Amino acid sequence: MLTPEIQAGFLADSPEIFLPVAGGWGRSGATHIRLREAGKDVLTGALHTAYKLRVEKNAGSEKAAVKKSAKKNP
């Protein structure tokens, strides 16, 4: 899962490797990787990018949950 902006970059750079998932998920950044066409470096880079985005999103969610909990239980 990528952001739509990052997905667009992957699609523009390597349309033979990357394609959006059909429907709303694809418009939101869900991306297929054609493993047969992807080299190790491309695949590693794409997976690292998706992982980094998820870690950042999860960290933001945890911070929001802590703030919300603090407001409920002063």
For 9-61, the pLDDT digits (tens) are 999 999 999 999 999 999 999 999 999 999 999 999 999 999 999 999 899 87
- What is the helix, strand, coil percentage profile of the chain, to 5? 65, 10, 30
> Is residue 50 classed exposed, middle or buried when 0-12, 13-18 and 19+ CB atoms within 10 A define those classes?
buried
* pTM (predicted TM-score): 0.76
pLDDT band at 63 (very low <50, low <70, confident <90, very high): low
pLDDT of residue 21: 97
pLDDT of residue 56: 92
- Contact between residue 1 and residue 54 where contact means Cβ atoms under 8 Å apart: yes
pLDDT of residue 69: 58
